[in-house]
Structures are given as structure tokens and as C-alpha cells.
Amino acid sequence: AVNRMPLIAGNWKMNLDHLQTVAFIQKLHWSLRDGGHTEGTVDVAVFPPFTDLRTAQTLIDADKIPFALGGQDLSAHDSGAYTGEVSGAFLAKLDCRYVIIGHSERRQYHSETDEVVGSKVQAALRHGLVPVICVGETAEDLEEFGASAVPVSQLNVALESVPADAEIVVAYEPVWAIGSGQAATPDQAQDVCAKLREVVAAKLGADAAARTRILYGGSVKAANIASFMREPDVDGALVGGASLVVDEFSSIIRYQK
Ligand code: PEP
């Protein structure tokens, strides 16, 4: 995490309606304040369901809450006859800064291929959004190819045609660690994150590799976040389950204390 601003990102998946989102954001903000959190030491981003974004934006804006917003997915298209899809233009209009792309649940349940992920990365960049590109191996991949081969190849495809000066975030999320309670070890995370940084260097150049934040995700909680953050190539975390519990997520954000 040398010279890179840490990023703690909460992926709420299909949880919290817009009223629950308002209550959650307020409680998280108070919990951080009461816990002595120093603003500006860590970037915090939350990824609510699409239907919550407008309310979350209004609250964050009115109360000057220092959380960035992001979508959990976006369409590869900008507008038109794509029933049910949400365009990057709409996310940008709601002040979203980030968008998660290629989460393993999208790859698994919505058959998103590496090529689809690549076209969504292009869509995000067209609309000034920072793509949070998720890569990671399944338990079967791990057995067959080891930890890094699949995420490295996924990232290679996702970064095709990405300009060297684009801001991107990469999230290494071993599928076997997501929601399983069985996180990777900090060593394992460091090893793959370092290889992913080499991919960024090869595709986008050394400056981009030095600047790009690479997150670890998979059963991150308050008890293990600091051990990941000590690793030089882990610049933050993408948090699922633990981002839905105010005190737990607040402790994760305050990992430096
Ligand atoms: C995720 O789905 O991005 C994730 C990391 O989930 P969890 O923290 O629940 O393992």
C-alpha cells in the first residue's frame, strides 16, 4: 500500500432497501465519528442496490458524509432498448464514482465472460466512472491451475484497450473465499495481488501499476483486515457480508487504530 490511498469498499449485494440504506449510512457515519476515525486517511465507498442510489446520494450530499458511491454493475451499452439494464451515464448522474464490474456472482449467475467484463470496463470509462474490476479463481481453478493463472488471464482481457492514464481499481477475490468465512491468507493475497500489479504494468505501464489500487476481497472482517493491509501490494478491501454490519464495517474502516 506504499503511497496509495487505501480503499475500503462495501458491496451490499441485494441487501438493504432505500430506507434501510439511509439508516445504515447515518449509523456508519456516526460510528466512525464516535470511533475517532480520521477523515481522509482511507477512502470509503459503498455499493448499494441501484434503487437506493438516489436516496443515498441525497443523504451523503446533504450531510457532507465522506463516502463515495458506486453501482454494483452497469450495462455495456450507453442507452436504448436494453430492458432492465442500467447505463453508466445514469450512475454518473447520481454522483457514483465507482462501479463494480465482473463480480464472481455476475460471472457465475449471469454468465458474464471476460469479454463482457472488458466491454463494461470500456462503458465505465466512457462515463468517467472508476471500474472496480473483480477477478479471482474458483476452488476448481485453484486445484487445477494454482491461484494466480485465472485472475491474471481475466485481468489481461479486462484491460484490453484501457488507456494508460485511466483510473481503475482491481479487486482480487478468490471465489472460494467469498462468503465462506475462509479468507485467503495475507501471503496468498499478496502473492496474487503482486502478480496482478505486474499485469497492470505490462498493459498500462509502470506509472499506472504504481498508482493503481489493488484490493483483496473474500471473508474480510474486523479481525483480519489489518493483516491484509500490512501486505505491500494490498491497497484495501472489497467487503461483502461484513459491510452490512455497522460496527463491523466501521472497525474495518478504522483498521489503522
Ligand atoms: C464479495 O462478494 O465481494 C465479498 C468479498 O463477500 P464476503 O466479504 O462476504 O466474502
pLDDT of residue 1: 63
Percent of the chain past pLDDT 90, that is, above it, reads 97
pLDDT tens sequence across 126-182: 999 999 999 999 999 999 999 999 999 999 999 999 999 999 999 999 999 999 999
Residue 107: CB atoms within 10 Å: 20
Q: Please state the domain extents for the chain.
A: 7-253
Please, which contacts does 145-149 make with residues 24 or more away whose CB atoms are closer than 8 Å? 147/174, 147/188, 147/191, 147/192, 148/191, 148/192, 148/195, 148/196
CA distances from 92 to 102, 213, 248 (A): 19, 21, 29
* Residue 219 is assigned to a ligand binding site: yes
Q: Is 179 in the pocket of ligand 1 (CB under 6 A)?
A: yes
Say what the ipTM of the complex is: 0.97
List the CATH code of the domain at 7-253: 3.20.20.70
Q: Does the pLDDT value for residue 220 go beyond 80?
A: yes
DSSP-assigned beta bridge partners for residue 24: none
Provide the sign of the torsion angle of the four alpha carbons 220, 222, 43, 213, taken in this order. Answer: negative
| Total-model pTM | 0.97
* Residue 27 is assigned to a ligand binding site: no
Q: Could you tell me the distance, in angstroms and rounded to a whole number, from the CA of residue 238 to the centre of ligand 1?
A: 7
Active-site residue set: 103, 173
Q: Does the pLDDT value for residue 92 go beyond 90?
A: yes
Looking from the CA of residue 239, the nearest atom of ligand 1 is 8
Higher pLDDT among residues 31 and 257, named by residue: 31
Q: Does the pLDDT value for residue 3 go beyond 90?
A: no
Q: Could you tell me the distance, in angstroms and rounded to a whole number, from the CA of residue 239 to the centre of ligand 1?
A: 5
Percent of the chain past pLDDT 70, that is, above it, reads 99
Output helix, strand, coil percentages for the chain, rounded to the nearest 5. Answer: 45, 15, 40
> Which of the 8 DSSP states describes residue 147?
S
